């Protein structure tokens, strides 16, 4: 036997097997039925969420109220029995903790003060100071570790530096991230300094979530697809690799999921380049292609189109089954290709969950083979 030969794709590494299905997938195990959770699963499509948000008064008050934030995190677990709960928070809490003003306007979304000059970047708070603002988030994590079912994995998260920086530069979300790309072109040194500040803060933020009880963390790079060529390497790959390496040094047993949304062909090799344990896929990527080119490196997550949660019906069932079959040869966590939308029907979510969990019966019957 060649002791230097790597295990086959989809094989679990040697050693004790984690009990929770999400952790087993992240450890490289291929399971007959993939574990399932859903991005933005705690959200406005649920009537119980809307009631709790009304109780909080506004979105930021909900994020910073540990009892209420824990409650909305638990709501989709009670309703659907997902295999994981993801901490309820927002990616823009980090720039707020670094000293930028943050507020939400109905119909407009988040608005921020900006950091676009060397002086403004230098004026951001030192990284250790972020915990003064973010301590309620860590308390939410501690509450969830006490209250979640024993079989449910707790996922913490943060926005990736490029995505967070686009908001810090523009002061709001933008369609094409034009202001951030303009600063990158005009003053690459200042842009890189901002990325470095966000990267360092993200390491500390995710590490604190892990210390509070998060079992997995996810890095959301929602606008990674707007980076091209060397810029993708410098500002999507490199910061993710730095964050993951730092987290692995401190917390070697904690898996990291990376989501470079709309990376297209750059999904292939992303896990190897960054050290991520799993790559989440948006719904623009064909599952068969991803199984051949991304899953070969380990666990993948995704990638049902969120629109199916609105329209439902047989198309939802068929596409769910197709994705489960496509990824059945390796470790897979079933999820959407992006977050669920507020106009989704909760009954369609229930149908998706039933369809995924009936996958074993379909496979055993030879369906689609």
Interior CA angle at 150 toward 86 and 143, to 5°? 55
Domains, the chain, in order of start with CATH, read 32-360 (3.20.20.210)
Rounded-to-integer distance, Cα 219 and Cα 255, Å: 11
Rounded-to-integer distance, Cα 265 and Cα 269, Å: 9
CB burial of 101-122 (b: ≥16 within 10 Å; e: otherwise) equals ebeeeeeeebbbebbbeeebbe
| pLDDT recorded at residue 13 | 47
Active site (annotated) includes residue 79: no
Helices (H) and strands (E) in the chain, counts: 18, 9
Q: Which pLDDT tens digits describe the chain residue by residue (369 residues)?
A: 232 323 333 444 445 567 899 999 999 999 999 999 999 999 999 999 999 999 999 999 999 999 999 999 999 999 999 999 999 999 999 999 999 999 998 778 899 999 999 999 999 999 999 999 999 999 999 999 999 999 999 999 999 999 999 999 999 999 899 999 999 999 999 999 999 999 999 999 999 999 999 999 999 999 999 999 999 999 999 999 999 999 999 999 999 999 999 999 999 999 999 999 999 999 999 999 999 999 999 999 999 999 999 999 999 999 999 999 999 999 999 999 999 999 999 999 999 999 999 976 544 444 432
Interior CA angle at 50 toward 69 and 154, to 5°? 35
| pLDDT recorded at residue 360 | 60
Rounded-to-integer distance, Cα 27 and Cα 82, Å: 19
Read off the pTM. 0.92
Active site (annotated) includes residue 267: no
**7 vs 3, 13, 14, 26, 34, CA distance in Å?**
10, 7, 9, 15, 20
Catalytic residue among 90, 187, 231, 234: 90
Tell me the two tokens of residue 162: 């490029």
Active site (annotated) includes residue 205: no
Q: Taking the chain, what is the end-to-end CA distance rounded to the nearest angstrom?
A: 33
Q: Please, which residues have CB within 8 angstroms of residue 287's CB and are 6 or more apart in sequence?
A: 281, 302, 303, 322, 323, 326, 327
**168 vs 124, 242, 334, CA distance in Å?**
11, 20, 32
Catalytic residue among 45, 167, 205, 267: 167
Q: Any idea what DSSP says for residue 108?
A: T
Rounded-to-integer distance, Cα 227 and Cα 224, Å: 6
| pLDDT recorded at residue 361 | 52
DSSP string of 181-222? HHHHHH-HHHHHHHHHHHHHHHHHHHHHHHHHT-SEEEEEET
Cβ atoms of 324 and 368 closer than 8 Å: no
> E strand or H helix at 85, and its extent?
strand 84-86
Active site (annotated) includes residue 90: yes
Catalytic residue among 24, 40, 181, 266: 40
Strand order of the β-sheet with 153-159 is 84-86, 153-159, 216-221, 256-260, 278-280, 299-304, 332-336
Catalytic residue among 53, 145, 172, 357: 53
Interior CA angle at 266 toward 262 and 271, to 5°? 105
Q: Please, which residues have CB within 8 angstroms of residue 336's CB and are 6 or more apart in sequence?
A: 38, 39, 283, 302, 303, 304, 305, 306, 309
Phi, psi (rounded to 5 degrees) for 107: 85, -15
Q: Is the dihedral of CA 271, 24, 18, 209 positive or negative?
A: positive
Cβ atoms of 297 and 278 closer than 8 Å: no
| pLDDT recorded at residue 219 | 98
Cβ atoms of 72 and 11 closer than 8 Å: no
Active site (annotated) includes residue 53: yes
């Amino acid at each position: 036997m060649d002791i230097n030969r790597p295990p086959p794709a989809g094989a679990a590494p040697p050693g004790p097997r984690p009990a929770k299905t999400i952790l087993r997938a992240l450890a490289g195990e291929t399971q007959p039925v993939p574990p399932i959770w859903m991005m933005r699963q705690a959200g406005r499509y649920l009537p119980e969420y809307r009631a709790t948000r009304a109780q909080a008064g506004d979105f930021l008050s909900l994020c910073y109220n540990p009892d209420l934030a824990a409650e909305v995190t638990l709501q989709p677990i009670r309703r659907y029995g997902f295999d994981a709960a993801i901490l309820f928070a927002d990616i823009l809490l980090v720039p707020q903790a670094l000293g930028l003003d943050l507020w939400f306007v109905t119909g407009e979304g988040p608005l921020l003060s900006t950091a676009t000059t060397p002086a403004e970047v230098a004026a951001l708070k030192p990284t250790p100071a972020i915990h003064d603002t973010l301590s309620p988030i860590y308390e939410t994590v501690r509450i969830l570790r006490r209250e979640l079912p024993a079989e449910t994995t707790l996922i913490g998260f943060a926005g990736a530096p490029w995505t967070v920086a686009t908001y810090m530069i523009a002061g709001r979300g933008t369609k094409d991230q034009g202001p951030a790309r303009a600063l990158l072109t005009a003053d690459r040194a200042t842009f890189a300094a901002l990325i470095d500040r966000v990267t360092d803060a993200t390491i500390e933020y995710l590490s604190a979530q892990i210390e509070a009880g998060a079992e997995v963390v996810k890095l959301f790079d929602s606008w990674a697809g707007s980076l091209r060529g060397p810029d993708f390497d410098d500002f999507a790959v490199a910061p993710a690799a730095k964050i993951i390496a730092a987290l692995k040094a401190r917390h070697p047993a904690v898996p990291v999921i990376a989501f470079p949304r709309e990376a297209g062909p750059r999904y292939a090799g992303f896990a190897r380049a960054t050290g991520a344990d799993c790559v989440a896929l948006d719904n623009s990527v064909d599952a068969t292609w991803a199984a051949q080119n991304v899953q070969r490196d380990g666990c993948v997550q995704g990638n049902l189109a969120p629109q199916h949660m609105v329209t439902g019906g047989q198309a939802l069932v068929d596409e769910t089954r197709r994705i489960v079959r496509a990824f059945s040869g390796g470790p897979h966590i079933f999820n959407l290709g992006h977050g669920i939308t507020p106009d989704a029907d909760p009954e369609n979510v229930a149908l998706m969950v039933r369809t995924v969990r009936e996958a074993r019966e379909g496979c055993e019957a030879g369906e689609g083979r």
